Amino acid sequence: MSVTRGINRLLRNVKKSVNISERQVLALAYQPNVNDFEPNGPRVVTDIPGPRSKQLIEQLDQIQNVGAVHFFCDYDNSHGNYLADVDGNVMLDLFTQISSVPLGYNHPALINAVSKPENLSTFVNRPALGVYPPADWVSRLQNTLVSVAPPGMNHVQTMACGTCSVEHGMKAVFMKFMSDARGGMPPSQEALESCIINKAPGSPSLSFLSFNNSFHGRTMGALACSHSKWLHKLDFPVPDWPIVRFPNLKYPLEENVVENRTEESKILEEVEDKIDEYNKKGQTVAGIIVEPVQCEGGDKFATPYFFQGLRDITNKRGMGFIIDEVQTGCGATGKFWAHEHFNLTDSPDIVSFSKKMLTGGFYKKVTFKPKEGHRIFNTWVGDPSKIALLEEVVKVIREDNLLDSVKVTGEYLMSGLFNMQSKYPGILSNTRGLGTLCAIDFNTTDNRDKAMADLRKKGVHTGACGPTSLRFRTTLLFKTKHVDVFMERFDDVLSQLNK
Ligand SMILES: Cc1ncc(COP(=O)(O)O)c(C=O)c1O
């Protein structure tokens, strides 16, 4: 009885939230095709942010900092690739909540998941998963995260957000590194006591190598490996860990093979030199962390040769190797994991994820599994309701062949961007991408920002990265027809900028 009442209430809420009849809710449950109920195009009726957004921003300012808020959204009326705001504007969304919406807004399969009786307790109760997991936890993990695990990795740990996934992945590397250093023996009593007061040997002087302009998150370890904006870093006492430049390659990659190879070889040498330097000064480098595409730093791509080189260096030196797929994972590149494009001869040790995966977490090789409980831990260690939603996401990706669809849309998007680049050579350059995870550079930051503002006036919401890049972070349901809607408006905006 209570379950039925709960379902009815959920159904009523769903009905209210998408403003459709109960019969339609049920119909949608069996017809998960987002394109059937998406708007045909953008609609702009006010400035963005409009008056209602401005009013809400003012109210929010009374209780928190609103410096990052663009506008308030109307999620009830957002559908598929179209994001609605509280002023009645509807925008084609090419930024998708900072790259974190896999199937668009209000996808019927996700609405259906919320209304399934067997999911009710999953949405209502949030357990301390590390201690009291629910009976279906193993099978749900197997249906979701394990079923899409990167090649060579079948152990997974859920977490809340991207940052804490990276942070705990780094801890797994440090623990393995020290366990190896002890020859697999248990820690000494002195180590157990000294770690409590942050002193050696229990708290060893180790470091992690990362790349300039990278972004891995905002807690202290992840922040020490992030080097993209002062806003993230200023005033925090992060450790002095080794930083190496990320390859500065020429695009298109396939037309600049020789020059790019020289640059990447040089950087791989710099990586080895930097490790030697830090090892010598007593800050032994335990691992390397890298993004498969350096996203926040400006969508910088490197080649498989570079990533294979990093894998080889870390293997040779007994260090851990983390590939941070928080922004690149879950299909946007046309493969489930971006690093699958690299054909690594040995998989990474840790792969962190979040955003489109709806849950945070990291994959690890079994050798990186901690020996004791509570070593990689927090109260929730994730959220089973996100796994219930991820179950549907994975199903839709498979059933609707979304990885293939992303490849088709990505090629179409890239060819449109190349056209724009040839039409406006004084403004645009460096079209690059994998799947729909694409970017293009402007000649100046001002022009990039003006183009984004003008696009928004035409109902297209985009995201920036690095000093002059526009990045594309669409849903996996972004099709060629959406590219057309974007390109028409992009052309208009560029022709105005070109005057
Ligand atoms: C590559 C990468 N790692 C980590 C993070 C941090 O994720 P979160 O913002 O969920 O903490 C981000 C966020 O943009 C990211 O792009």
CA 116 / ligand 1 centre spacing (Å) = 31
Phi/psi for 389 (5° steps) reads -70, -40
Give the Cβ contact number of residue 90 at 10 Å: 21
- Residue nearest ligand 1's atom 16 by CA: 327
Active-site residue identified among 379, 444, 445, 484: 379
Mean pLDDT of 398-414: 98
Q: Return the CA Rg of the chain.
A: 24
CA 140 / ligand 1 centre spacing (Å) = 24
Q: Is the pLDDT of residue 13 over 90?
A: no
164 CA closest ligand 1 atom index: 11
Phi/psi for 246 (5° steps) reads -85, 145
Phi/psi for 366 (5° steps) reads -60, -30
User: Does residue 327 have its Cβ closer than 6 Å to ligand 1?
Assistant: yes
Q: Is 333 an annotated catalytic residue?
A: no
Can you tell me whether residue 295 is helix, strand or coil? coil
Which residues is 127 bridged to in the sheet? none
CA 243 / ligand 1 centre spacing (Å) = 18
Q: Is 4 an annotated catalytic residue?
A: no
Handedness of CA 4, 24, 109, 463 (dihedral sign): negative
Q: Determine the pLDDT at residue 37.
A: 72
- Residue nearest ligand 1's atom 3 by CA: 216
Burial 252-267 (b: 16+ CB within 10 A, else e): eeeeeeeebeebbeeb
Residue whose CB lies within 8 A of the most ligand 1 atoms, among 229, 246, 355, 357, for a mutation test: 355
CA contacts within 13 A on the Cβ side of 144: 25
CA 224 / ligand 1 centre spacing (Å) = 14
Q: Is 240 an annotated catalytic residue?
A: no
Report in angstroms the alpha-carbon separations of 375 from 153, 305, 381. Answer: 20, 34, 12
Mean pLDDT of 338-366: 98
Least confident of 11-20, 161-170, 274-283: 11-20
Q: Is the pLDDT of residue 156 over 70?
A: yes
325 CA closest ligand 1 atom index: 1
Mean pLDDT of 188-203: 98
Mean pLDDT of 122-146: 97
Mean pLDDT of 324-342: 98
State which amino acid sits at residue 38: E
Query: Rounded mean pLDDT of the chain?
Result: 93
User: Does residue 358 have its Cβ closer than 6 Å to ligand 1?
Assistant: no
| Cα 115 from Cα 155, distance rounded (Å) | 30
Phi/psi for 5 (5° steps) reads -60, -40
**Where would I find the H helices in 62-161?**
96-99, 108-115, 120-124, 137-141
Report in angstroms the alpha-carbon separations of 372 from 156, 165, 168, 212. Answer: 16, 19, 14, 34
What helix, strand, coil percent values describe the chain, rounded to 5?
45, 15, 40
pLDDT tens-digit map of 71-101: 999 999 999 999 999 999 999 999 999 999 9
Domains of the chain: 2-121 (3.90.1150.10), 126-397 (3.40.640.10), 403-497 (3.90.1150.10)
C-beta separation of 86 from 50 below 8 A: yes
Of 67, 136, 145, nearest to 325 by C-alpha is 145
279's CB contacts (< 8 A; 6+ apart) are 285
| Cα 166 from Cα 322, distance rounded (Å) | 9
Q: Determine the pLDDT at residue 36.
A: 60
CA 168 / ligand 1 centre spacing (Å) = 13
* Residue 163, H or E segment: helix 162-181
Q: Is 215 an annotated catalytic residue?
A: yes
Active-site residue identified among 355, 356, 365, 386: 355
User: Does residue 161 have its Cβ closer than 6 Å to ligand 1?
Assistant: yes
Across 46-103, where does the E strand assignment appear? Answer: 82-84, 90-93
Of 351, 362, 358, 403, nearest to 384 by C-alpha is 358
Mean pLDDT of 33-62: 90
Q: Determine the pLDDT at residue 154.
A: 86
* Residue 47, H or E segment: none
Burial 402-429 (b: 16+ CB within 10 A, else e): bbebbbebbebbbebbeebbeebeebbe
CA 159 / ligand 1 centre spacing (Å) = 13
User: Does residue 291 have its Cβ closer than 6 Å to ligand 1?
Assistant: yes
C-beta separation of 402 from 396 below 8 A: yes
Handedness of CA 11, 13, 17, 20 (dihedral sign): positive
Can you tell me whether residue 81 is helix, strand or coil? coil
Least confident of 9-13, 202-206, 445-449: 9-13
